[in-house]
Amino acid sequence: MDEDSQPIQPQDQSCWASLPDVCLRRVFWWLGDRDRSRAALVCRKWNQMMFSADLWRYRTITFSGRPSRVHASEFESALWYVKKFGRYLEHLEIKFLNPYNAILTKKFQVTMRGLLSCLGKSNNRLKSLSVQQLELDRLVWRNSIRSSFIKSLSFFLKKVGKHLDYLNLKGARLTVEQGCVVLNSLSYLRSESVVSQLNIEDYFSHHLAVYSSAQFTRTMATFHSLASLTLNYNCISDELLENLCENNARTLWTMNIKCHIHDPHGQVIWGMSWAKLARHATNLKVNFFFERVMKYERLARILLQEIPIRSLSLRSCYFSDPDWSMRPTLTDLLPTFRHTLQKLTFEFNNNHESLDEELHLLVLSCRKLFYFKIWAFLDVRFVERILKSQEEGQCSLRTLKVRIYTNRYETNDEDRTLREIHRRYRKLIDAELNYFVIAYPMM
């Protein structure tokens, strides 16, 4: 019916009836499952269109870890989807959100066994698989449930490993033996794995000295096409760097390394091992993420001058240690990487020392720096100094994010000064910067 309640004539419907298939697929691509099901009932053409491979290449399947009637059908609908459209899948992401008890982990394990089995039989085009934050070392994962899930996942990876390009198992929390079994599945019946992007951050449980495991070294030697590798520092060893140099120097572009306070990180890595890898993998850029590892002595053992560091993140959360000083790190250690650093992220509690001058000089010394984020106790005028340097061409930032901690509940004075600074440099900010600055009471 039109606006005047008159019947729509057949010729007025022809725009949808004659819409090209490529346009229909684009419209349907934006619809959720429920709307797609309804659209499939409109006519035979639309029903056939719903089986276009383009519509089902990407899929995120989310399972709730809490008992709920609302989420009761998640497990059944996931299996239904894989049976119906699994053969078209190219990129699959599985999420299991904070499992509440062993009953739900068992249900998830059984569902995944059926899902992976069905997918392994019908799909030969899967390129990307992500199963993150399972935390399999938690008590809700009984030994039998965990073992059955690992067995299903390993068997599935043996089938799809020959064409899988991206694998993300971040947060799995496995033992070294379990983790190596899963990773070895990628090279089953072959001498090497073809995966080019591998994320095994927090893949192993806390407190494990993975770097000393010969089994892990042999497992990583099967990867010959890595372009991006994400892992924890407790996996890094001279042997691993040697393997990467021998097998992945042509392809390796990025290494993302997380170092957490609870992970062993006291191993000695020779600078010559990093230098050899950097020399052969000429495009390599290394990104470090430190969680509560802030003391200069520890950082200096890890951040060797031979490493081509592109990005550095230092976070202490809200922990404060009056015996700790950030100054040596800012003045002596980080300037070593001034020719390669492009991104800097700091989040620390420096209530016991002022670091405005040191931070400003560090930003000026890193000529390639384009991203700067800091949460710390700072003078409000620090922001003005950075903007003035940007205006004068002394730095080339594209992103500036600052959270200024204060020891007062009220931040009216700081807010007023920040507004004045923003008005003064508004043209510069609008033209050049992704800009976010705020005063934050740290009580």
pTM of the model: 0.91
- What is the per-residue pLDDT across 301-334, written as a single tens digit (0 to 9) for each? 999 999 999 999 999 977 777 788 999 999 999 9
Indicate the Cα dihedral angle 279, 284, 290, 293, nearest 10°.
Answer: 0
Query: Which residues make Cβ contacts (< 8 Å) with residue 4, sequence separation at least 6?
Result: none
Report the 10 Å Cβ neighbour count for 79. Answer: 16
CB-based contact 81:59 (threshold 8 Å): yes
Cα–Cα distance, 265 to 236 (Å, whole number) = 9
CB-based contact 118:82 (threshold 8 Å): yes
Query: Which residues make Cβ contacts (< 8 Å) with residue 223, sequence separation at least 6?
Result: 186, 192, 193, 195, 198, 247, 248
pLDDT in tens, the chain (443 residues): 444 545 444 455 557 767 888 888 888 888 887 788 888 888 888 888 888 888 889 999 988 877 666 555 667 788 888 888 899 999 999 999 888 899 999 999 999 999 999 999 999 999 999 999 999 999 999 999 999 999 999 999 999 999 999 999 999 999 999 999 999 999 998 888 999 999 999 999 989 999 999 999 999 999 999 999 999 999 999 999 999 999 999 999 999 999 999 999 999 999 999 999 999 999 999 999 999 999 999 999 999 999 999 999 999 977 777 788 999 999 999 999 999 999 999 999 999 999 999 999 999 999 999 999 999 999 999 999 999 999 999 999 999 999 999 988 899 999 999 999 999 999 999 999 999 999 999 87
- E-strand stretches of 13-90: 58-64
Cα–Cα distance, 421 to 31 (Å, whole number) = 45
Q: Strand 254-260 relative to strand 285-291: parallel, antiparallel, unpaired?
A: parallel
CB-based contact 353:360 (threshold 8 Å): no
Q: Counting Cβ atoms within 10 Å, is residue 68 exposed (0-12), middle (13-18) or buried (19+)?
A: exposed
Cα–Cα distance, 374 to 404 (Å, whole number) = 8
Cα–Cα distance, 31 to 40 (Å, whole number) = 12
Nearest CA among 436, 434, 428, 433 for reference residue 404: 436
Cα–Cα distance, 114 to 53 (Å, whole number) = 22
Q: Which two tokens stand for residue 109?
A: 């394990």
Cα–Cα distance, 63 to 95 (Å, whole number) = 6
